[in-house]
C-alpha cells in the first residue's frame, strides 16, 4: 500500500472533527473587527504585566458550567526580540473556590494557529463556532481545574501577531498573563502570594516550559509551585530533520510562516520556500485549513515539494534557518527553578522522544527537579494527551497541596 493511502489514526479524525475544520462565522465579534484587540500606540510606556483594558465575557461550552465569571484582559508583554507588545488573556473564576488561599492554574492550550480567529479568548466565547480551543479536548482539563476550586487563566500566548511556536514570545506572554491576573481584583487571588501552576500539552507544553525557564529572571515574583508539560519540543533542529514523509509534514510550513513573523532575517521565506511552499504558507497564515490545520494539511509530503531544499534535514542545516531554530529551541534556553512533570509517549510521532530524553538528562545534570513520565504505551502525539491529562492533574493537585515533588530523572 502506498504510504499516502494510509488511513490516519482515529484520534486524528476525532481531533479534526472537533478543532481543525474551518467554521462558519460566529455571533461573537471576530478579533479583526473588535477594538479590544487593538494594541495601544504607547505600548512601550507600560511595564510588562500591566493591564491595559478589561471586560467581562460569557463563555460557551463545557467550561462555563464550572465558572462563576470570566474576564478578558489585554496586558503588556514582550516578544521574542525583546520589544514591548500586547496580548490578551482569559481568567475564569471557579463557581466553588477551594477552601483557603486562592490558587491560580495557568493552562496553555494547543491552539497552534496563525490568526486570532483560533485564539482562546475568541473561541472560548463560542467564536469561530468554538473551533480550536473551545472543544472537549481542551476544555476537559480547564473544567477539571475549575472543579478543583482553582482560578484558571488561559492566554493567547502567541500574541496579537499569532507567533505560533516562537518559544520566548510564548513564555513571556504566559508569565505576564499571570502577573496581570495577580493584579486583577475580580479574580480574587492574592497578588504575588498566590501559588501558581503551569500546564499544557503539545503547543501548550512549549508555552508552559518556556515560561518556567524564563520565570527566574523575567518574573521572579511569581510563585510557581509546579509545571506539567506533555508532548514536548525542546529541539527544533531535530524535529525539522524528521518531518519529511510524516503525517505531520505540514507543520514545517506553518511553523516557518510563524517564525518568519518573529525572526524575518533568519526565516526569509522568499529564499526558503518555492512557489508551492509560499502559496501554502500564505494559506496557513490565514488558517486556511482550520484551527491548527496546518499541522496536518500535507500528510506524507516532504521538503523537496515545498522548499528550495532536497530534504528537511538540508533545510534545517541552512545557516540562517539553523541559527533561528537553535535560538527557538528550549534545550538552549535558561534553567527553570520550579519542579517539572514532563510527559512524553515513547512512540510520539511529532514530539519525538530522543530530543526529550536528551533535554531531560541535561536538566537533571544541572539540578532541576524533574518527574519524567516516559510512557511506552502512550501511542502517538494525539492519543498521548489522554494519559498526560490524567497524570498532570494529579501532579498539579499535589503541587498545590505542598507534597514534595517526585525527582525521577531516569530515562
pLDDT for residue 308 is more than 50: yes
Domain carrying residue 276: 246-327
Domain-located, residue 407: no
pLDDT for residue 57 is more than 50: yes
Q: What is the pTM of this model?
A: 0.93
pLDDT for residue 138 is more than 80: yes
Q: pLDDT by residue (tens digit) across 13-22?
A: 334 434 444 4
Residues 185 and 308 in one domain: no
Domain-located, residue 371: yes
Q: What proportions of the chain, in percent to the nearest 5, are helix, strand and coil? A: 45, 15, 40
**DSSP notation for 51-105:** EEEEEEE---SGGGGGEEEEEEEEEEEE-TTS-EEEEEEEEEEESSPPSSS-EEE
Q: pLDDT by residue (tens digit) across 345-392?
A: 999 999 999 999 999 999 999 999 999 999 999 999 999 999 999 999
Residues 86 and 69 in one domain: yes
Domain-located, residue 70: yes
> Residue 253 — φ and ψ, nearest 5°?
-70, -45
Q: pLDDT by residue (tens digit) across 172-214?
A: 999 999 999 999 999 999 999 999 999 999 999 999 999 999 9
Place of cell 496581570: 180
Residues 165 and 71 in one domain: yes
CA 162 to chain centre: 11
- Are 375 and 346 in contact by the 8 Å Cβ rule? The answer is yes
CATH number assigned to the domain comprising residue 253: 1.10.260
Q: How many angstroms separate the Cα of 147 from the Cα of each of 33, 94, 110, 375, 397?
A: 34, 7, 21, 27, 12
pLDDT for residue 258 is more than 90: yes
Residues 208 and 269 in one domain: no
End-of-domain residue from the set 327, 360, 392: 327
Q: Which residues is 153 bridged to in the sheet? A: 91, 106
End-of-domain residue from the set 327, 342, 364: 327
Domain-located, residue 36: no
What is the rounded average pLDDT of the residues 130-155?
87
Domain-located, residue 211: yes
Residue 60 pLDDT class (50, 70, 90 cuts): confident
Residues 78 and 165 in one domain: yes
Average pLDDT, the chain: 92
Domain-located, residue 364: yes
Residues 165 and 230 in one domain: yes
- Pairing mode, strands 151-155 and 103-108: parallel
Better-scored residue on pLDDT, 360 or 128: 360
Task: Classify residue 99 by burial, with Cβ atoms within 10 Å: 0-12, 13-18, 19+.
Answer: exposed
d(CA 169, CA 145): 25
What is the rounded average pLDDT of the residues 256-269?
98
What is the rounded average pLDDT of the residues 57-61?
91
Which of 83, 237, 252 is closest to 161 using CA atoms? 83
Residues 179 and 82 in one domain: yes
Domain count, the chain: 2
Q: How many angstroms separate the Cα of 234 from the Cα of each of 87, 198, 216, 303, 391?
A: 24, 17, 19, 22, 21
- Are 39 and 86 in contact by the 8 Å Cβ rule? The answer is yes
CATH number assigned to the domain comprising residue 100: 3.40.50.1820
End-of-domain residue from the set 327, 360, 389: 327
Domain-located, residue 31: no
Residues 320 and 341 in one domain: no
d(CA 232, CA 373): 12
- Are 350 and 184 in contact by the 8 Å Cβ rule? The answer is no
Residues 282 and 195 in one domain: no
Q: How many angstroms separate the Cα of 115 from the Cα of each of 71, 112, 137, 257, 284?
A: 21, 9, 20, 12, 9
Residue 43 is classified by DSSP as G
Which grid cell is 142? Answer: 480547564
Residue 8 pLDDT: 37
Q: Can you count the helices (H) and strands (E) in the chain?
A: 14, 9
Residues 315 and 354 in one domain: no
Residues 174 and 313 in one domain: no
Q: How many angstroms separate the Cα of 59 from the Cα of each of 33, 69, 87, 126, 183?
A: 19, 9, 19, 7, 22
Residues 226 and 251 in one domain: no
d(CA 348, CA 282): 28
Residue 131 pLDDT class (50, 70, 90 cuts): confident
Domain-located, residue 158: yes
pLDDT for residue 401 is more than 60: yes
Amino acid at each position: 500500500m502506498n504510504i499516502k493511502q494510509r488511513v490516519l489514526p482515529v484520534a486524528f479524525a476525532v481531533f479534526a472533527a472537533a478543532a481543525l475544520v474551518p467554521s462558519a462565522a460566529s455571533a461573537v465579534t471576530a478579533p479583526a473587527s473588535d477594538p479590544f484587540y487593538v494594541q495601544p500606540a504607547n505600548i512601550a510606556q507600560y511595564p510588562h504585566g500591566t493591564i491595559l483594558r478589561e471586560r467581562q465575557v460569557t463563555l460557551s461550552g463545557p467550561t462555563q458550567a464550572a465558572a462563576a465569571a470570566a474576564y478578558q484582559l489585554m496586558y503588556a508583554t514582550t516578544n521574542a526580540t525583546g520589544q514591548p507588545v500586547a496580548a490578551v488573556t482569559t481568567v475564569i473564576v471557579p463557581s466553588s473556590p477551594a477552601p483557603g488561599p486562592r490558587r491560580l492554574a495557568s493552562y496553555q492550550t494547543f491552539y497552534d494557529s496563525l490568526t486570532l480567529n483560533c485564539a482562546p479568548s475568541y473561541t472560548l466565547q463560542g467564536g469561530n463556532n468554538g473551533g480550536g480551543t473551545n472543544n472537549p479536548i481542551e476544555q476537559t482539563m480547564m473544567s477539571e481545574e475549575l472543579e478543583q476550586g482553582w482560578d484558571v487563566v488561559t492566554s493567547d500566548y502567541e500574541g496579537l501577531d499569532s507567533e505560533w511556536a516562537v518559544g520566548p514570545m510564548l513564555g513571556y506572554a504566559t508569565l505576564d498573563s499571570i502577573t496581570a491576573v495577580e493584579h486583577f481584583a475580580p479574580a480574587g487571588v492574592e497578588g504575588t502570594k498566590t501559588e501558581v501552576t503551569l500546564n499544557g500539552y503539545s503547543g501548550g507544553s512549549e508555552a508552559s516550559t518556556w515560561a518556567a525557564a524564563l520565570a527566574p529572571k523575567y518574573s521572579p515574583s511569581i510563585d510557581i509551585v509546579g509545571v506539567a508539560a506533555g508532548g514536548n519540543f525542546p529541539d527544533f533542529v531535530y524535529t525539522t530533520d524528521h518531518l519529511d514523509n510524516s503525517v505531520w509534514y505540514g507543520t514545517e510550513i506553518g511553523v516557518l510562516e510563524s517564525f518568519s513573523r518573529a525572526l524575518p532575517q533568519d526565516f526569509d521565506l522568499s529564499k526558503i520556500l518555492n512557489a508551492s511552499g509560499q502559496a501554502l504558507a500564505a494559506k496557513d497564515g490565514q488558517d486556511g485549513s482550520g484551527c491548527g490545520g496546518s499541522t496536518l494539511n500535507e500528510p506524507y509530503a516532504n521538503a523537496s515539494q515545498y522548499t528550495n531544499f532536497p530534504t528537511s534535514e538540508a533545510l534545517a542545516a541552512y545557516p540562517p534557518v539553523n541559527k533561528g531554530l537553535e535560538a527557538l529551541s528550549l534545550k538552549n534556553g535558561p534553567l527553570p527553578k520550579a519542579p517539572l512533570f514532563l510527559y512524553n509517549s515513547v512512540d510520539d510521532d511529532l514530539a519525538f522522544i530522543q530530543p526529550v530524553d536528551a533535554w531531560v538528562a541535561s536538566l537533571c545534570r544541572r539540578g532541576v527537579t524533574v518527574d519524567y513520565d516516559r510512557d511506552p504505551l502512550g501511542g502517538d502525539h494525539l492519543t498521548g494527551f489522554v494519559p498526560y491529562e490524567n497524570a498532570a492533574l494529579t501532579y498539579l493537585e499535589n503541587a498545590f497541596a505542598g507534597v514534595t515533588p517526585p525527582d525521577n530523572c531516569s530515562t
